[in-house]
Amino acid sequence: MQFLIFILLLPLFAYCYQIISWYLQWLHTANFEMQEMSHVGISLIIPFKDEIDNLPSLISSLENQSHANWELILVNDHSEDGSFELARSLIENSHLNAQLINSDSNGKKAALLTGVKSSTHPIIVTSDADCSYHPLWLINIANACESKQADLLILPVTIKRSKGWLNRFQQIDFAAVQLSGAAAALQGKAIMCNGANLACSKAAYLEAELQTRIASGDDMFLLEWMKQNNKKIDFIKTDKVLVETKGADTLKSFLHQRARWAAKAPHYKDKQIITIGIIVSSVNLVLIGSLMAGILAPTMWKIYGIVLFTKSICDYTLLKAGSNHYKFNISFLEVLFWQAIYPLYVLIVLVYPLFVKVIWKSRTI
């Protein structure tokens, strides 16, 4: 029995070691500060499909950017709700240096590639139509590109706060993923990035060969390509480049989104990404298994309690360290609460696609 307990606790040991290493990396990394004004040119590529409700706030946010040398390229991915016409009107009535073009093919990857090919600057920044930005967002990115000379800059993203438990869960869950990815990148072992806030050289993007057979995942497959080709990857630690994005409005749309993310996992080839995925999955499996096994063997409930409490402490430590940067507050009791139901969430996301067709932007995944 003692040997079984030891085996069950092994994933927890690996998980805690990894989280603590990320926590220490985050604490020991100084905030990025601009050294001088940069004039490097940036092409901001934003693909959109049926975003008529988000386009006005998007353009309004972008009009406040302080960087002088940049262009906006909006790429219409076959919208059917009047988004293209609205985007054209918004651009015509703004002071932005903007292009509005149609994608050459279906899907976000194709839309992004269309935009990159139409760009005129050496630095590509990608984002989404439901995002909002700090006025110093692009000027800080431009400065970081010059000072760090990275081929790929991973940048922070957070979920906009709104009412309801679903939004709060997304905010905390997403923050944990973001902080893990940020710290890993700072260690030189990048495992995560998000296309809502990403910068890279135009030359590297055009050189990359992304997996086109998968409807999403342009960001993660770009990251994998960068690592496979020994490109320089870095993270910018400053809240001035933090991008806010909207969470899913309904439980159904949330499950579709997470199932879509999970569907990309089998296609990853990077060993570091796979290893972290195995460690996290193993800890959650131990939680689920020990909870269910406790019905027959009450001793297993002790294992469940140990894993739940220890994992919560580690996660809380990392979340608390990054809470100011990612603009949220958190308590240990809240982490413990979400932690208790998290294995159920993981199980639902895994089985959900078996019974429901996963839809993204009116397309079946």
pLDDT score of 110: 87
Residue 217 has pLDDT above 70, yes or no: no
pLDDT score of 355: 67
Minimum mean pLDDT range among 36-40, 155-159, 223-227: 36-40
For residue 149, count other CB atoms closer than 10 A to its CB.
Answer: 10
Cα distances from 246 to residues 29, 165, 170, 220, 252, in angstroms, run 28, 14, 10, 20, 15
Domain boundaries defined on the chain: 2-26+270-349, 33-248
Instruction: Measure the CA–CA gap between 23 and 47, rounded to whole angstroms.
Output: 34
- Mean pLDDT across 252-281: 86
pLDDT mean across residues, the chain:
89
The residue among 355, 316, 362, 357 whose CA lies nearest residue 335 is 316
The residue among 176, 186, 117 whose CA lies nearest residue 153 is 186
Residue 209 confidence class, pLDDT cut points 50, 70, 90: low
- Mean pLDDT across 92-120: 91
- Which pTM value belongs to this model? 0.90
Query: Taking the domain 33-248, which CATH number applies?
Result: 3.90.550.10
pLDDT score of 170: 94
Q: Which residue has tokens 């909207």?
A: 246
Tokens of 330: 């958190």
Residue 157 confidence class, pLDDT cut points 50, 70, 90: very high
Residue 352 has pLDDT above 90, yes or no: no
The residue among 227, 179, 217 whose CA lies nearest residue 195 is 217
CA atoms within 13 A on the CB side of 275: 10
Residue 290 confidence class, pLDDT cut points 50, 70, 90: confident
Q: Which residues contact 338 (CB under 8 A, 6 or more apart)?
A: 169, 172, 173
Helix (H) / strand (E) containing 100? strand 98-102
pLDDT score of 359: 62
Residue 39 confidence class, pLDDT cut points 50, 70, 90: confident
Q: What is the pLDDT of residues 63-77, one digit of tens each?
A: 999 999 999 999 999
Tokens of 233: 């990857």
Residue 310 has pLDDT above 60, yes or no: yes
Q: Output the CA angle 14-230-73, nearest 5 degrees.
A: 105
Tokens of 349: 């996301």
Helix axes 165-186, 332-355, angle to 10 degrees: 100
pLDDT score of 106: 83
With contact defined as beta carbons under 8 Å apart, do 131 and 243 qualify? Answer: yes
Q: Output the CA angle 204-209-212, nearest 5 degrees.
A: 135
- Mean pLDDT across 17-45: 92
